[in-house]
């Protein structure tokens, strides 16, 4: 099975009422862990790479690792997504490489740190949509800004998404998916305490979904940051402070109100770090790096499989026949839906 359209994955998720995890990768072991989890749980999946990941792994290495993944796991529908594209040029380069979905994050300027004005966001996002849709490629936009900074992206300021502006933004840009700012943050240190309604504005998701029932919503900064992983890291020599992420039950509430894509990065990093520290501590005389990387791959597999079950995507890999990008291109051209949420 070739890489498929993220639009179809999200349309199918909307039709059946579940969310699809979007998991960040930087290397082979992370990709293998995600694909093993997808096979274990019979899940469709979104694999996403940031600009930092593309720089670290190299575009051609990263893309060919993904080609190997879809060859090895032909039963798994997989979309390859660019996370937080900082400019139309960055998004276009990903599309030309073979990504089947891109995010144009016009909420920030090209430096990935300075908050952009609304008209700029509309203009650059629309430019990417016009380039992508004639190629069958999905586009995610962002309105509002998240807290925290991760992989060099973030203003460090939280600006919640305005529902009225969200309606205008979707109409003017034609995006397939909208990342909403509800108080979440990038990184491990998201909140000073377990978030509640005063910290996470879940009401915004409900309101935006009511106004935009046919637009797929996206939750960024949605790692749950399990205390058990931090405890394991510290027990094996780490020095992480207590941290609070987004509770799974809050993510599930979002999924019930139109969230179809859930971004998870930090949980994978924590799981890998815990596994690496434990592997090194268990065999201090071991010098074969595979002793560590094998443990990291299994840790990624475990945390991703858990999230897939929690988001409801488990068991849905074989529900439908993936459509080609050419099919999706024709859908955009004719403005015909691929599923219930088009």
Task: Say what the pLDDT of residue 233 is.
Answer: 98
Banded model confidence at residue 337, pLDDT cuts 50, 70, 90: very low
User: Cα 15 to the chain's mean position, in Å?
Assistant: 20
Separation of alpha carbons 26 and 105, rounded Å? 20
Residue 109 sits in a domain whose CATH number is 3.20.20.70
Q: Which residues, in sequence order, are bridge partners of residue 47?
A: 23, 80
Half-sphere exposure of 337 (CA within 13 A, CB side): 12
Banded model confidence at residue 187, pLDDT cuts 50, 70, 90: confident
Q: Indicate the average pLDDT of the chain.
A: 93
Q: What is the mean pLDDT of residues 269-281?
A: 98
Q: Which domain holds residue 84?
A: 6-224+244-264+316-334
Task: Say what the pLDDT of residue 1 is.
Answer: 75
Q: What are phi and psi of 180, to 5 degrees?
A: -110, 145
Question: Does the residue 282 lie in any domain?
Answer: no
Among all chains, which residue has been given the structure tokens 């099919």? Answer: 327
Separation of alpha carbons 9 and 316, rounded Å? 10
Question: Does the residue 135 lie in any domain?
Answer: yes
Question: Does the residue 62 lie in any domain?
Answer: yes
pTM of the predicted model as reported, rounded to 2 decimal places: 0.93
Question: Does the residue 23 lie in any domain?
Answer: yes
- Outline where the chain has alpha helix (H): 6-16, 28-41, 51-57, 59-72, 88-97, 118-133, 163-173, 202-211, 227-235, 248-256, 266-282, 289-311, 325-334
Question: Does the residue 272 lie in any domain?
Answer: no
Q: Are 169 and 127 spatial neighbours (Cβ–Cβ below 8 Å)?
A: no
- Catalytic residue, chosen from 11, 83, 105, 267, is 83
Task: Say what the pLDDT of residue 155 is.
Answer: 47
Question: Does the residue 306 lie in any domain?
Answer: no
Nearest to 321 by CA among 18, 48, 66, 1: 1
Question: Does the residue 269 lie in any domain?
Answer: no
Task: Say what the pLDDT of residue 338 is.
Answer: 44
Question: Does the residue 235 lie in any domain?
Answer: no
Of 40-49, 151-160, 274-283, the one with minimum mean pLDDT is 151-160
**Does the annotation mark 327 as catalytic?**
no
Number of separate domains in the chain: 1
What are 134-177's pLDDT values in tens digits? Answer: 999 999 999 988 755 555 555 456 789 999 999 999 999 999 99
Task: Say what the pLDDT of residue 150 is.
Answer: 59
């Amino acid at each position: 099975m070739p890489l498929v359209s993220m639009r179809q994955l999200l349309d199918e998720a909307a039709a059946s009422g579940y969310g699809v995890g979007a998991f960040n990768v930087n290397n082979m072991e992370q990709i293998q862990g995600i694909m093993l989890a997808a096979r274990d749980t019979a899940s469709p999946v979104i694999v996403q790479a940031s600009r930092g990941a593309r720089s670290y792994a190299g575009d051609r290495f990263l893309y060919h690792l993904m080609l190997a993944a879809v060859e090895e796991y032909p039963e798994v529908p997989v979309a390859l997504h660019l996370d937080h594209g900082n400019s139309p040029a960055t998004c276009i380069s990903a599309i030309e490489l073979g990504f089947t979905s891109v995010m144009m994050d016009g909420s920030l300027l090209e430096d990935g740190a300075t908050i952009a004005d609304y008209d700029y966001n509309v203009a650059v996002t629309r430019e990417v949509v016009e380039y992508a849709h004639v190629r069958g490629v999905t586009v995610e936009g962002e309105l509002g800004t998240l807290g925290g900074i991760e992989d060099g992206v973030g203003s460090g300021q939280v600006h919640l998404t305005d529902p009225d502006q969200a309606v205008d933004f979707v109409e003017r840009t034609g995006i397939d998916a909208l990342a909403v700012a509800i108080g979440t943050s990038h990184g491990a240190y998201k909140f000073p305490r377990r978030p509640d309604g005063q910290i996470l504005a879940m009401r915004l998701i409900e309101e935006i979904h009511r106004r935009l029932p046919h637009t797929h919503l996206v939750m960024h900064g949605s790692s749950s940051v399990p205390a058990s992983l931090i405890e394991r890291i510290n027990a094996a020599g780490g020095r992480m402070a207590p941290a609070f992420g987004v509770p799974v039950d809050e993510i599930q509430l979002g999924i019930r109100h139109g969230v179809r894509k859930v971004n998870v990065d930090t949980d994978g990093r924590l799981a890998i770090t815990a596994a690496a520290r434990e592997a090194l501590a268990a065999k201090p005389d071991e010098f074969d790096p595979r002793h560590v990387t094998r443990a990291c791959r299994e840790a990624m597999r475990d945390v991703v499989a858990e999230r897939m079950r929690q988001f409801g995507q488990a068991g849905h890999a074989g529900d439908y026949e993936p459509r080609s990008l050419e099919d999706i291109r024709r859908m955009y051209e004719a403005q015909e839906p691929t599923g219930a949420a088009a």
